[in-house]
Structure 1
Amino acid sequence: MKILIINPNSSLDMTDVIQKSAENFANGEYEVMTLPTEGAPKFIDTYQDQSLAAPGMLEIVKKYRDEVDAFIVACHCDPNLDLLKEITSKPVVGIGEASMKLASMLGHRFSVISTSQHSVPNKQALIRKYHLEGCLASVRYPRKEFEGCNCNEEQIYLETSKDAIREDMAEVIVLGCAGLAGLDKRIQEIVKVPVLDSVVCALIIASGLVKANYSISKIRRYALN
């Protein structure tokens, strides 16, 4: 089995973080390959960013759709996910949808930990799209006192997760950015609730779909006429 993970932005550093998390989870059982998107912004933060990433993402799928068994879109806002589902018969899994739907199975309510205030409405809109409003405790981002501080990334998102559990009654934490891959187990050990690495969640689903020989229905919504 070979799964291609598309990093919708052009950051090589983030691509490396995603690849490392994916390799650790796959543990040699199947091949994972992460590619950045040429011509895309360094970070996907706005709808314009998503639009700019679309051509490069399309090219990746067209180039590799006969060589891999499944695709993963490794950005938590699931940019251009429906578009990619339309142009291939292989499974295409977004890390946002995968992580939040799995979170809804693991506890009464979940919180998404985002990287910035700007991304909160986008996450909330995506949650409504996936019909998960009733399972949502909150969408949080780091408190202002963390801006410009010398805290490391793990500490910042640990404290944000604690706030969600204590103040919002979250029972599951979703790390809402592919760049946070690899922080899940260390935070989970302290907060004592499931903490989900979104890249891992997408791999769980994508690899399972391949093993079961399930893929995207092409009868209506994702039919390419």
Structure 2
Amino acid sequence: MPNARITLVNPNSLTGVTQAIDRAVAPFRRLPLELRCLTSTDGPAGIQTQAEADACIAPMAQLFLQEAPNTDAFVVACFSDPGLHGLRDLVSAPVMGIGECSVLTAMSMATRIGVIAIAGASIARHLRYFRAMGVADRICGELALDMKVSELADTELAFARMVAVGRTLRDAHGADVLIMGCAGMADLRDRLEDACRLPVVEPTQAAVAMAAGRLFSR
């Protein structure tokens, strides 16, 4: 029987982010899964504002339709889950959003969730999403690194800012679990857990775990 096929789509056009997503889900390749990480090359170069989130949906939808015949489950690999419900209408395979999956995973681990965003411009959009999900009361705070997605390539700078933000969420906001609010942060998860002494949810891993659960429980 062939392996279950999960296609992860990075809605922005930065291939470096797609490579980080691929590294994040590498542990799942020990399972009978075929994982493909694709870049929406016609998407914006980073998704921080609502306008950028909206602009990425149409090219991502075309990619979903193109890949649907060879996919058992899709993952929208952007923390805002742009177009998630419309994409679920578009294809018959399950469609998981990393934002939704990471929050649900964090809720199963602890009560008070702190979110680390890349840019302050993303926070209002994330908070609207949490309210729409009905989970805003579980989010004790969201703080930004104030970095561009492309700047995450400077690993040590990104890590230093993540530790500072994570500790502030822990000490000033009472977070007892942290979510990395972007698909480009995966390489730093283990170090962040050690530095902040809190569990840390990496959203692409959370989404693949849920997708695999759906596929293997059929």
1:10 counterpart = 2:10 = no
Q: How does 1:1-225 map to 2 (within 5 A)?
A: 1-27=4-30, 29-142=32-145, 152-213=157-218
Seen in structure 2, the aligned counterparts of structure 1 residues 112 and 23 have a Cα distance that, compared at 3 Å, is same
Q: Which has the larger radius of gyration?
A: 1
The question of whether the paired residues in 2 share the 8 Å contact of 1:7 and 1:73 is answered with yes
Q: Which amino acid aligns with 2:91?
A: T
Residue 15 of structure 1 deviates from its aligned partner by 0.8
Q: Gaps (5+ residues) in structure 1?
A: 214-225
Seen in structure 2, the aligned counterparts of structure 1 residues 106 and 150 have a Cα distance that, compared at 3 Å, is closer
Residue 152 of structure 1 deviates from its aligned partner by 1.9
Seen in structure 2, the aligned counterparts of structure 1 residues 150 and 106 have a Cα distance that, compared at 3 Å, is closer
Residue 62 of structure 1 deviates from its aligned partner by 0.8
Paired with 1:174 and 1:76, the residues of 2 have a C-alpha distance of: 10
Residue 119 of structure 1 deviates from its aligned partner by 0.9
What TM-score comes out, normalization by structure 1 length? 0.88
Instruction: Report the secondary structure of 2:65's partner residue.
Output: helix
Residue 53 of structure 1 deviates from its aligned partner by 1.5
Paired with 1:27 and 1:104, the residues of 2 have a C-alpha distance of: 26
Residue 156 of structure 1 deviates from its aligned partner by 1.1
The question of whether the paired residues in 1 share the 8 Å contact of 2:9 and 2:77 is answered with yes
Q: Which amino acid aligns with 1:63?
A: Q
Instruction: Report the secondary structure of 1:106's partner residue.
Output: coil
Q: Which amino acid aligns with 1:139?
A: E
Paired with 2:156 and 2:40, the residues of 1 have a C-alpha distance of: 30
Residue 52 of structure 1 deviates from its aligned partner by 2.1
Residue 209 of structure 1 deviates from its aligned partner by 0.7
The question of whether the paired residues in 2 share the 8 Å contact of 1:182 and 1:197 is answered with no
Aligned residues: 210
Q: Gaps (5+ residues) in structure 2?
A: none
The one-character-per-residue Cα deviations of 1:4-26 (angstroms, maximum 9, x if unpaired) are 00000011111111111112343
The one-character-per-residue Cα deviations of 1:143-175 (angstroms, maximum 9, x if unpaired) are 79xx9x995211210111011001100000000
Residue 30 of structure 1 deviates from its aligned partner by 1.3
Q: Which amino acid aligns with 1:202?
A: A
Paired with 2:207 and 2:80, the residues of 1 have a C-alpha distance of: 13
Report which stretch shifted further, 17-26 or 81-90. 17-26
Paired with 1:174 and 1:130, the residues of 2 have a C-alpha distance of: 16
The one-character-per-residue Cα deviations of 1:50-79 (angstroms, maximum 9, x if unpaired) are 232122211111111121110000000111
Query: How much identity, in percent, do the aligned residues show?
Result: 25
Q: Which amino acid aligns with 2:195?
A: I
The one-character-per-residue Cα deviations of 1:81-103 (angstroms, maximum 9, x if unpaired) are 11110111111000000001111
